Amino acid sequence: MRVAILSDFHIGYERFSADAFRQAEEALRKASERADMMIICGDIFDMRAPKPEVIAQALNLFRNAKEKEWEARIEAYEGKGRIYTDMPVIAIPGTHERTAKNAENAVGLLNLAGFLADASESRVTVRKGSERVSVSALGGVSEERASGAIKEMDPQPLDGAFNIFAMHQSVYELLPFSDDFMRMESLPKGFDLYVNGHIHSKVEGEAHGKPFLIPGSTVLTQLKENEQGSKGFFVFDTERRSYEFVEISSRKFLLEHIDITGKGREEIMKEITERVEHGSADATGKPVMRIVLEGRLNDSTNHIGTELQAMAKKFSNSASVEISRDRLKGSDRDNDTDPERGLIENMSIKDFGMSLFLEKLKGKNYGLAVPPTSIFEMLSSGQSKEKAVKRAMEELLS
Ligand SMILES: [Mn+2]
């Protein structure tokens, strides 16, 4: 069978919402054409409580997949929940959809509507003729719970099938930023293929001697160095045990560094203009450019911030430009030592919030029986502050 592996559509992502929809649409359409089944490794939505218009976008996207005459069909579902379709479109919720325990998440809604099969903490087996592909999956959980959750779930490969394990987690070997991240060795053994979401650039690795694939996001989100590559998804051929990456058209993204040490404001402005003009020259559509200024500010460039912002706006017809001063040294910004920089740039805002929360608790010798991460989920849920605090207090005192 040909299995499409997609991830991180981030539908509803405000900054590039049209891109998020269009690029997810192209990925889903191409995947339906080229594959017998698909697995979406989380973060279909960008937010936990998507607005009705964003849910409508998702329904429209998955309706297209529903129109295909799928020859492969879901034959078995083994898990605690329920699925409402036998169409071989399998998904799990990711970090962005994660809700407090027992609360329905947005991917769960698509499952209820029968637009996909939520495979969280379950095993879903797809059959085409005499061939079987079995997918065991862990829906996104907070990082420090991942290895424990896999152990608890104890996923088992199915005899006579091609076995895939799917999840949505950070992996320490790929992002060595926190001891909370699970290790490759925590992945269950005996599977033929491991697929993951969460990381927004393409990864082709290995786990327990088998392929470990991350397709990356279908839309630009974090404006990081590694997002300059092409966007798309994998199609894995279970018979040949080989795969290809299918590209989708996506907005061009360029990240440039300019060293401003010893340069005056005129010179800096001129250099930025040249870079932007060069970068947008042969682009179809408006590219996204992030220009990172490096080096040391001097007396004449000390307070260049507002000018740079005005400058970035000036290009708005030809490119979406972001000028970063975070790496400058001098009195405007002083980041000579900023150990957290790398950390912040490589984590989602939510994960970063969680790590700050855990750090604060450590300093206070937190010793209650309630996992701090579930308290964090409650406090950061979309509810009003009063309600969230009330629920967290109830949980703590129960
Ligand atoms: Mn994501």
Query: What's the number of CA atoms in the CB half-sphere (13 Å) around residue 290?
Result: 16
Instruction: Classify 2-247 by CATH class.
Output: alpha beta
Give start and end residues of each alpha helix (H) in the chain. 17-34, 52-67, 106-112, 146-153, 265-281, 305-314, 341-346, 349-363, 372-379, 385-397
CA of 75 to the centre of ligand 1 (A): 29
CA of 9 to the centre of ligand 1 (A): 8
Name, in order, each residue with C-beta under 8 angstroms of 356's C-beta and a sequence gap of 6 or more: none
- Integer Cα distance of 267 and 258 in angstroms: 11
CA of 196 to the centre of ligand 1 (A): 11
What pLDDT digit, counting tens, does each position of 251-283 carry?
A: 889 999 999 999 988 899 999 999 999 888 877
CA of 390 to the centre of ligand 1 (A): 29
Name, in order, each residue with C-beta under 8 angstroms of 100's C-beta and a sequence gap of 6 or more: 374, 377, 378, 381, 391
CA of 373 to the centre of ligand 1 (A): 19
Using pLDDT thresholds of 50, 70 and 90, give the confidence band for residue 336: very low
What pLDDT digit, counting tens, does each position of 45-94 carry?
A: 998 889 999 999 999 999 988 889 999 999 999 998 999 999 999 999 99
What pLDDT digit, counting tens, does each position of 363-394 carry?
A: 777 777 777 777 887 787 766 788 888 888 88
CA of 341 to the centre of ligand 1 (A): 20
Neighbours of 249 (CB within 10 A): 13
Domain-by-domain residue ranges, the chain? 2-247, 253-335, 346-397
Q: Could you tell me the pTM of the whole model?
A: 0.81
CA of 138 to the centre of ligand 1 (A): 15
In single-letter form, the type of residue at position 364 comes to K
CA of 333 to the centre of ligand 1 (A): 30
CA of 142 to the centre of ligand 1 (A): 13
CA of 201 to the centre of ligand 1 (A): 10
CA of 16 to the centre of ligand 1 (A): 14
- Integer Cα distance of 39 and 58 in angstroms: 16
